Amino acid sequence: MRVLCAFPEAMPSSNSRPPSCLAPVALFLALLLHLSLSSQAGDRRPLPVDRAPGLKEKTLILLDVSTKNPVRTVNENFLSLQLDPSIIHDGWLDFLSSKRLVTLARGLSPAFLRFGGKRTDFLQFQNLRNPAKSRGGLDIVRSDVALDKQKGCKIAQHPDVMLELQREKAAQMHLVLLKEQFSNTYSNLILTARSLDKLYNFADCSGLHLIFALNALRRNPNNSWNSSSALSLLKYSASKKYNISWELGNEPNNYRTMHGRAVNGSQLGKDYIQLKSLLQPIRIYSRASLYGPNIGRPRKNVIALLDGFMKVAGSTVDAVTWQHCYIDGRVVKVMDFLKTRLLDTLSDQIRKIQKVVNTYTPGKKIWLEGVVTTSAGGTNNLSDSYAAGFLWLNTLGMLANQGIDVVIRHSFFDHGYNHLVDQNFNPLPDYWLSLLYKRLIGPKVLAVHVAGLQRKPRPGRVIRDKLRIYAHCTNHHNHNYVRGSITLFIINLHRSRKKIKLAGTLRDKLVHQYLLQPYGQEGLKSKSVQLNGQPLVMVDDGTLPELKPRPLRAGRTLVIPPVTMGFYVVKNVNALACRYR
């Protein structure tokens, strides 16, 4: 500043200006001098920018939950599983007695196990006395030696060499199955009585209730359903006293392209009434549940099919079912799983299905069956990675909030990359996510209230929420928490951490954190996960790891790391909605 004060004095007096006029010039020259000196010293730091008073760099989100009444109550088996009939084709059905697979499935019980998929309508039942002859060659089922009896279940330890041979066989069949899927042309499958025994044994040992989807494409000349094969299967199952629920067909809206013969909604409704008439004289199935029509994405033609079906057979089914696939598996990137626009596509489909169902049978239960993140069998290192969990967890939260009673995940275990368990019998990230959900989340859905969550919307632009928060009563079967506790599950799609302050009824309560993050160098593409910093792996073939929470002191702000998912149990809230079943 001394230089600036002396500068006017050095100028000729005849051209001098009032000192007040020189102030801006002096400031400008001082700034240039400062920048010049900083540059010579190697200082490349930006000039500090003054912030508006009171403006915080991070927005603190206030969160409260309505605890008096639940907004929804879903099925106890809300998160359920599916097995595709392709496991007959590639040989994995014969390994369902694996102790490791049964242990993993038990972790997700209670649940429904739907046996159905693209190959449902090419499945034929044969009660053969010697099923080995029908397959030809080595009967790989004979690997089931030294069966271990556990509560009447047949559990096997398969030799490593036989598992390796099966993996080689399955890898070869995987190419065949993908070719069928891309061409939409499927070969017939034979389900023997022995194979059905193995399927039911797996479901029963795992604490899962089997739902069997029957072939609906066996047609008479007048296009009515030919039930001869189905009747044979029903009689055999009844003779074994198998407790099974039933469906008929899979995605009937695709029958024209798959079989060259369309089945409209009205005819399909008549077929379901025919199936109901087959079940009623069979004592064990006279009150068996019946689900359908398992339509695909509700486009205009599919909605027309559903409308015709509900008009004829809406009162015949116990729940109305449909399927959903988020992404074309042939074109997918890891960032696709983080797009909020993609996460929200399901909401519109739910409303379309509910509108038709409530027109004919108000209050009828609706199920989402066969939900997958990516089509065409999925994408390796993406559909089976940590990144896919954002879609899966958001699906669970959104469906429960909008009143969908059950969601069935395709698939627990089969070919492709959309499954929960891989072909080495190792649980993938979505399995651990599902296990945490099962252990911590109860069927009662609670309303969430937040403040400070969204920025001010910009004109002409939709601001979509990248922080998703859902709340349920804590699972009453979890004896680590007393009734009245609440569990939050939170998805943070932001690239920055988010801070959440519990308010209202949740203020100053103890919280248990279950933060699920990717483990290893692959980041979002990782197939391994860590819980509160500890990698999750099975202890042995018969033991799942303990899911240990990280206790947070009462009143502490929840800090959600960027691009992560977590569960937070708020203890001892004594929520009225959660105190009773």
Please report the sign of the dihedral spanned by the C-alpha atoms of residue 139, residue 140, residue 145, residue 148. Answer: negative
Which backbone phi and psi does 422 adopt, to 5 degrees? -85, 180
* Per-residue pLDDT tens over the stretch 367-412: 999 888 776 666 777 889 999 999 999 999 999 999 999 999 988 9
Provide the token pair at 52.
């508006």
Residue 64's φ and ψ, nearest 5 degrees, are: -140, 160
Q: Determine the pLDDT at residue 336.
A: 86
Long-range contacts of 341-345 (CB under 8 A, 24+ apart): 341/464, 342/391, 343/390, 343/391, 343/394, 343/398, 343/468, 344/464
pLDDT tier, 151 (very low <50, low <70, confident <90, very high otherwise): low
DSSP string, 469-495: EEEEEEPTT-TTS-TT-EEEEEEE-SS
Predicted local confidence at residue 569, as pLDDT: 98
Q: Is 314 helix (H, G, I), strand (E, B) or coil?
A: coil
Please check whether residue 65 is in contact with residue 505, taking contact to mean a CB–CB distance below 8 angstroms: yes
Radius of gyration for the chain, computed over Cα atoms and rounded to the nearest angstrom: 30
Report the sign of the C-alpha dihedral through residues 85, 86, 89, 93, in that order: negative
Taking residues 523-530, report their average pLDDT: 96
Tokens of 39: 């540059």
Reported as type and span, the H/E element at residue 246 is strand 244-248
Q: With the CA atoms of 554, 556, 561 and 562 taken in that order, what torsion angle do they form, in degrees rounded to the nearest 10? A: 120
CB atoms within 10 A of CB 201: 18
Token pair listed for 131: 């099923």
pLDDT the model gives residue 364 = 98
3-state DSSP percent of the chain in helix, strand and coil, to 5: 35, 25, 40
pLDDT digits (tens, 9 = 90+) for 551-563: 999 999 999 999 9
What is the spatial distance between Cα 130 and Cα 210, in angstroms, rounded to a whole number?
Answer: 25
Q: How far apart (Å, rounded) are the C-alpha atoms in residues 569 and 370?
A: 29
Tens digits of residue pLDDT in 316-354: 999 999 999 887 665 578 888 888 988 999 999 999 999
Residue 265, classified by CB atoms within 10 Å of its CB into exposed (0-12), middle (13-18) or buried (19+), is buried
Question: How many Å apart are CA 291 and CA 408, to the nearest integer?
Answer: 13
The amino acid sitting at 331 is V
- Strand 244-248 versus strand 208-214 pairing type: parallel
> Residue 118: which pLDDT band, with cuts at 50, 70 and 90?
confident
Mean residue pLDDT across the chain: 85
Structural contact between residues 237 and 244, judged by C-beta atoms closer than 8 angstroms: yes
pLDDT at 6: 35
Is 90 exceeded by the pLDDT of residue 282? yes
* Cα gap 456→426, rounded to integer Å: 45
Return the H-helix or E-strand segment holding 22: helix 19-40
Residue 439's pLDDT band (boundaries 50, 70, 90)?
A: very high
Which residues lie below 8 Å from residue 194, measured CB to CB, with a gap of 6+?
Answer: 128, 131, 141
- The pair of three-digit structure tokens given for residue 547, joined into one six-digit string: 């899911």
Which stretch of DSSP H or E encloses residue 514?
Answer: strand 511-518
User: And the tokens for 297?
Assistant: 């994405």
Over 70: is that where the pLDDT of 468 sits? Answer: yes
Dump pLDDT digits (tens) for 168-195.
888 888 778 777 777 777 788 999 999 9
Of 213, 271, 206, 210, which is closest to residue 241 (Cα–Cα)? 210
Give the whole-angstrom CA distance, residue 111 versus residue 208. Answer: 5
Which residues, listed in sequence order, are joined to residue 512 by a DSSP beta bridge? 551, 569
> How do strand 290-295 and strand 534-535 relate by DSSP bridges?
unpaired
Helix 99-107 with 193-206: angle, nearest 10 deg: 50
Q: Are 117 and 370 in contact (CB under 8 A)?
A: yes
Give dist(CA 49, CA 479) in Å, integer: 53
Instruction: Tell me the two tokens of residue 467.
Output: 């922080």
Contact 186, 254 (CB under 8 A): no
Q: pLDDT for 99-108, tens place per residue?
A: 999 999 999 9
In degrees, rounded to 5, the angle at the alpha carbon of residue 190 between the alpha carbons of residues 185 and 194 is 150
Please determine, for residue 498, whether its predicted confidence score (pLDDT) is greater than 70.
yes
Residue range 479-498: mean pLDDT, rounded: 96
Where is average pLDDT lowest: 244-258, 365-379, 439-453?
365-379
| Contact indicator for 370, 294 with CB cutoff of 8 Å | yes
Determine contact, residues 450/498, Cβ cutoff 8 Å: no
CA separation, residue 319 to residues 246, 354, 366, 492 (Å):
11, 12, 5, 33
**Most distant CA pair in the chain: distance in Å?**
121
Model pLDDT, residue 331 = 56
Instruction: Identify the residue with better confidence: 534 or 185.
Output: 534
Strand-pair category, 498-502 with 511-518: unpaired
How confident is the model at residue 225, as a pLDDT? Answer: 97
Helical ranges in 90-159 per DSSP H: 99-107, 131-135
Summarize pLDDT for 74-97 with one digit per residue, the tens: 999 999 999 999 999 889 999 999
- Answer with the residue of higher pLDDT: 257 or 56: 257
